[in-house]
Amino acid sequence: MDTSSRVRDGSPIVATAVAIGLAIFGIAATQLTTLPAFLLDPALITSPGDASITARTALMVLNFLGFALAGGIYLAATDRGWSYVDWRMPTGRGWIYVLVGIVGSIAFYFLVSILVQLLSLPTTDNQVMEYVAGDQTMILVMILIVFFFNAPAEEFLFRNVIQKRLYDAFTRMQAVVVASLIFALVHIPAYLAASGDLLSIGPDALFATTVSLAVVFGGSLIFGYLYAKTDNLVVPTAAHAAFNAFQFGLLYLALEFGLEVEDPAQSVVADLVFVLS
């Protein structure tokens, strides 16, 4: 039943606090799950682009498994169980929403690109680009990762767990906004870290980070809306994966044909990695 049509009995403050706590828990979990990758190749710490593809792939996969682990622990601890997970094959209507999500996210991406160029707005890179390092093979690997690990793990934690938990205290559209805001804010460390020394970040870097976070927030609204309308995790996951794969595909083609790559939404190789330290 649509949460907007029934009485909500949860506290907005408590629900928001739980949602923020789950996001932080997800980030903390990735710090533990990615440790084997750093042990496999210490170059990931000092010069990520020089690390082996095996190590970089392991890092990305383990990072997203951390999000899934955090969500799974929450479901187990609250006795919600796996029946709480809205994972099922979409109906015809569901696939229409997937298509709308893909088209909408790509249109949003290009709209932002145009605005950033016209207004000469700065953006900052997400740390994930340090691990891709202009390596075409790694880009192809990342396309597989977004389909099998990135999109499923992020949508599970931020949509099926966090956004759904917010339904107890907010209308569905309010929950989409709050979950998307949390989703954007947890990117702050990754964007600031990519800007340079965290102790010497100036106003320009902070402004560039704000622009990039606004883009992440907008993209998250699209995927959150898809989940709110369908109650099916497969729908936003499929749209999210296709969108990220599209972005990596553009990057691959740019490198393949030696094009100047100036991606106005730079770091928005959508919400790929939050905190990789």
For the ranges 104-108, 148-152, 250-254, the lowest mean pLDDT is seen at 250-254
pLDDT of res. 268: 36
Residue 93 has pLDDT above 80, yes or no: yes
In a domain, 272, yes or no: no
Alpha-carbon span 214 to 243, nearest angstrom:
17
Question: pTM value?
Answer: 0.87
Average pLDDT, the chain: 86
Cα 26-18-3 angle, rounded to 5 deg: 110
CA atoms within 13 A on the CB side of 78: 14
pLDDT of res. 187: 79
In a domain, 262, yes or no: no
Residue 186 has pLDDT above 50, yes or no: yes
In a domain, 266, yes or no: no
For the ranges 146-150, 199-203, 204-208, 231-235, the lowest mean pLDDT is seen at 199-203
In a domain, 228, yes or no: yes
In a domain, 229, yes or no: yes
- Could you tell me the end-to-end alpha-carbon distance of the chain, in angstroms, rounded to an integer? 41
Give 59's pLDDT tier (boundaries 50, 70, 90). Answer: very high
Alpha-carbon span 213 to 257, nearest angstrom:
30
pLDDT of res. 273: 38
pLDDT of res. 6: 47
Report the pLDDT averaged over residues 169-177. Answer: 97
In a domain, 24, yes or no: yes
Give 276's pLDDT tier (boundaries 50, 70, 90). Answer: very low
**Helix and strand element counts for the chain (H, E):** 13, 0
Highest mean pLDDT pick, 64-68, 125-129, 199-203, 248-252: 64-68
Complete DSSP assignment for 68-127: HHHHHHHHHHTT--GGG-------HHHHHHHHHHHHHHHHHHHHHHHHHHHHT------T
pLDDT of res. 129: 79
- Whole domain around residue 196: which residue ranges? 3-256
pLDDT of res. 259: 66
Q: How many domains does the chain divide into?
A: 1
In a domain, 275, yes or no: no
Alpha-carbon span 174 to 151, nearest angstrom:
22
In a domain, 265, yes or no: no
The CA R_g of the chain, rounded to the nearest whole Å, is 18
Beta strands (DSSP E) in 125-236 are none
Residue 194 has pLDDT above 80, yes or no: no
